[in-house]
Amino acid sequence: MIQASPAAGQRRQKSKYEHASEQRRLHVALYLSGVVDDAERQYHWAFLVGPKVEKEDDVPGMRYHVKNTIVDGEVRWVYEELDIRNVRMTNTLLARFAIAKVQDEKRLVEILRSIPVIQENPSWRCRTLAVGTAVLDWQKIEPAARKFVEGKKAAGRHNDVNQMQQARPTFDLIQGREVSP
């Protein structure tokens, strides 16, 4: 589904950041969640879409995720789409993992928007959005993502304030290698 092609005769709709020659990538992104006593919930999970080639200092793109927010006095899960100035670096981003080439970004967004956001289920969370939409092999993606972030943490990557001002590490699961330290 994520790599679905447009119907015959239709032109693929471009995102506002996409140029005619630009290929797009779908990343799973791990952020600090603020939860420290539960390994299963220590990360916030999101999807990022941005260009394959990241030559500029700022690489604009989109973030798709669900987050807890207060709505009418209640904490609710809310789906959110955000234009972000730089997909390589946001405040609490730990790492990104390229998981797919985006062939039809409009279709990808339609799929994400169609996923039900479940309320009042304590086991439903941001990770569920990612797992629930996975048409790729989530059994490979999740352990690889966790191992990569843990390795960066063990190496002290997130302890140095100067490094937190730089682009975050990116592992390309398509190519099977780290593409940005």
Question: How many CB atoms lie under 10 A from the CB of residue 32?
Answer: 14
Radius of gyration of the chain from its Cα atoms, rounded to whole angstroms:
16
Per-residue pLDDT 10s for the chain (181 aa) are 333 333 334 343 445 544 444 799 999 999 988 888 888 888 999 999 999 999 888 999 999 999 989 989 998 999 999 999 999 998 889 999 998 899 999 999 998 998 889 898 888 888 877 666 544 677 888 888 888 888 888 888 777 777 666 777 888 877 778 887 6
Q: What φ, ψ does residue 99 adopt, rounded to 5°?
A: -120, -15
Q: How far apart are CA 57 and CA 169, in angstroms?
A: 15
